[in-house]
Amino acid sequence: MRPENPAEAMVWKTILWTWPFYALGALYVVGPVLAWLIAGLAVLSLYLGQAIRSDMRATGPIPPVVWAWIIGMLVMLVALWAGHLNWDLGLKQTTKSSIGWAKGWALLALFPLAGAVLPIRRELLIRAHCRLGFWTLCIAPVLLVAPYVGLPERIWTSPLKAVGGPGPEYFTVFLFTFDPASWTPRWQFYAPWSPFAALLGVVMVLFALEEKEGRWRAAGIAAGTLIILASKSRMGLVGLLACTVGPRLVPLVLRSWAWAGLAVFTASLAVTGPWLLEKIGAGVDGFKSARADSTRVRATLQRIAQERWQEDAPWFGHGTVQPGPHLVEYMPIGTHHTWFGLLFVKGLVGFIALACPLIWQTSLAFKDAALSPRGRLPLGLCMVVVLLSFGENIEIEAYLLWPALLCLGIHARECSHSFVQGVP
C-alpha cells in the first residue's frame, strides 16, 4: 500500500508522522494547514477538469451531502459574525474568532470536500491508521512506565503556541497526566486530554477492523484498545462497544426474523420491563458516579449554557465562550458539549447549521450499512462524531479527527457514484 498521487501522499505522510508532529507540538497547526491545502487541490481539480494531471483529476462533482457541510459551515461563520456584531465584541475579536473558525468549523467542510473530489482511497486511510497503531504500540511502554519511574508529566510546550489556539495543552507534549479526582495516572497519547484520546482510539479500531492484512489489523486494534483503556474514559468504553458492534447489526433491519425477534422482546417487556429499567438506572448511576466531579461540572455547564442562551441570545448566541463561575471550576461556558456550546456561542442558527449535515451524513451511512459492508466504517465514524459531540467540542478537535472526516467525504463520493450507476 503506497500513495498513488500527491493528495494521497500528503494524507499518508501526515498520518504516519503523527508522533513526530506531536513531539514538536505541531499537530494543531498541521491539521488546518492540510485541510486548506487538499481542499484547495480539490477546487483546483474541479476548475481545471481534464487539464490537470491524470492522477489528480476530480472523481466527479461535489455530492449533495458535502454541499450541505459546506453551506452549514458557511452559515456557522455568518452566525459568528452576527453574534459578535450583536454583542459589540469589536473588529479585533471578530477577526480572531474568524481565524478560529478557519482552524475549526471550516475543517468539517474542507476534509469531506477533499475526500469526495480527490482520488484518495479509503484503503490508504485504513493502512495508515494501522501503521500509526504499530508505532503507538512501540512508544506505549515508555508512556506507561513514565509515572512509576519518576518521569515528569509534561516534557515541553512548543513555541508554536504563538499562532494561537484554544489553550497551551494543544501545543504541549505530555507523557501522562494525573487525574485530579483520584491522583492516578491517565494517558492521552497524542491528544490534548484523555477523553478525546479515547475517541481517537475508537476511530483507530474502526479503521483497523476494515484492514484485510492480519498483522496490520491486529496492530491497529491492539493500539486503539490500549489508547481507550489507558485513557480511563467512560465515553471511550461506550464508543468501543457501540461504534464497532452497532454498524454490524444494522443489516438486521432488512431481516424479517430480526423484526419478529424484536416483537417478541417488546412483548416480554410487559413482564421484565420494571426490572430491566431498574437495572439500567443502576448502571447509569454507577457510570456517572465513576467520575462524579466531572459529571457534576459538565451538567452544570450545560444548564448554565442553556439558560443563558434562552435568556440572552436565542438566534445568534453570545459570539464566544465566557468564563464560568467557581461552581464549575471556572470552566468556560460553551465548552464540554458541542450542542449546548453551539446554542450558547452561535445560537439556534449555529445549532441547525451543524445538525442538518450531520443528520444527513449519518442517515446516508446508516442506509448504506444496511445494504452493504461498505457503510460500516462511515456509520461507525458518524457515531463517533455524534458521541464526541455530547462530551466535547467537535470544532476544536477536528484537527485530529480529520481522517474520519476525509473518509466521510470518500463515502459520499462512493454513494454518489453508485446512485449514478444505479447499483446499491
Alpha helix stretches (DSSP H) within 173-255: 194-209, 214-231, 234-249
Task: Provide the greatest CA pair distance for the chain.
Answer: 69
CA distances from residue 293 to 5, 296, 419 in whole angstroms, order as listed: 49, 5, 49
CA distances in angstroms from 370 to 246, 291, 366, 388, listed in the order given: 11, 36, 6, 23
CB-count exposure of residue 413 (10 Å: 0-12, 13-18, 19+): buried
For 139-173, letters b (16+ CB in 10 Å) and e give bbeebeebbeeeeeeeeeebebbeeebbeebbbbe
Per-residue pLDDT of the chain (424 residues; tens, 9 = 90+): 889 999 999 999 999 999 999 999 999 999 999 999 999 999 999 999 888 888 888 888 999 999 999 999 999 999 999 999 988 888 999 999 999 999 999 999 999 999 999 999 999 999 999 999 999 999 999 999 999 998 999 999 999 888 877 888 899 999 999 887 678 899 999 999 898 999 999 999 999 999 999 999 999 999 999 999 999 888 888 899 999 998 998 888 666 655 555 555 455 556 555 655 565 565 555 545 555 566 677 788 888 888 888 888 888 888 888 877 766 666 788 777 889 889 988 999 999 999 999 999 999 999 999 999 999 999 999 999 999 998 888 999 899 999 999 999 999 999 987 655 555 4
Q: Does some domain include residue 283?
A: no
Dihedral angle over CA of 330, 335, 337, 341, nearest 10: 120
pLDDT of residue 290: 52
Structurally, how many domains does the chain consist of? 1
- pTM (two decimals): 0.90
Q: How far is CA 364 from CA 355, 370, 395, 410, in A?
A: 14, 10, 22, 12
Q: Examine residue 270 and state whether it is found in any structural domain, yes or no.
A: no
Q: Can you name the residues that pair with 172 across neighbouring β-strands?
A: 157
The answer to the question of residue 277 being in a domain is: no
Distance CA 391, CA 361 (A): 20
Give the structural domain span for 257: 6-264+293-421
Which pLDDT belongs to residue 288?
A: 53
Q: Is residue 236 part of a domain?
A: yes
Residue 220 lies in a domain: yes
∠ CA 221-198-122, rounded to 5°: 50
Helix (H, G, I), strand (E, B) or coil at 349: helix
Question: What's the gap between Cα 291 and its chain centre?
Answer: 22
pLDDT of residue 322: 80
352 torsion bin: left (phi>0), alpha (psi -120 to 50), beta (else)? alpha
Residues 73 and 363 sit within 8 Å (Cβ to Cβ): no
Report the C-alpha gap between 58 and 51 in whole angstroms.
11
What is the rounded distance in angstroms from the CA atom of residue 91 to the CA atom of residue 224?
A: 43
The answer to whether the Cα torsion of 397, 9, 39, 60 is positive or negative is negative
Q: Report the C-alpha gap between 420 and 314 in whole angstroms.
A: 41
Q: Among all chains, which residue has been given the C-alpha cell 510546550?
A: 157
Check if the beta carbon of residue 19 is closer than 8 Å to that of residue 139. yes
- Give Cα separations from 27 to 24, 123, 160, 316, 400 (angstroms): 8, 23, 10, 31, 8
Supply 51's cell numbers: 487539464
- d(CA 185, CA 282) in angstroms, rounded, equals 27
Residue 272 inside a domain? The answer is no
Q: Is residue 285 part of a domain?
A: no
Tell me how far CA of residue 262 lies from CA of 157, 252, 255, 267, 276, in angstroms.
54, 11, 11, 9, 16
Distance CA 178, CA 19 (A): 21
pLDDT on residue 128 = 96
Looking at residue 277, what is its pLDDT? Answer: 58
Residue 276 lies in a domain: no
CB contact set of 130 (below 8 Å; sequence gap of 6+): 207, 208, 211, 216, 217, 219, 220
As beta bridge partners, residue 178 has: 185
DSSP 95-161: HHHHHHHHHTTTHHHHHHHHHHHS---HHHHHHHHHHHHHHHHHHHHHHHHGGGTT--SEEEE-GGG
DSSP β-ladder status, 154-157 and 172-174: antiparallel
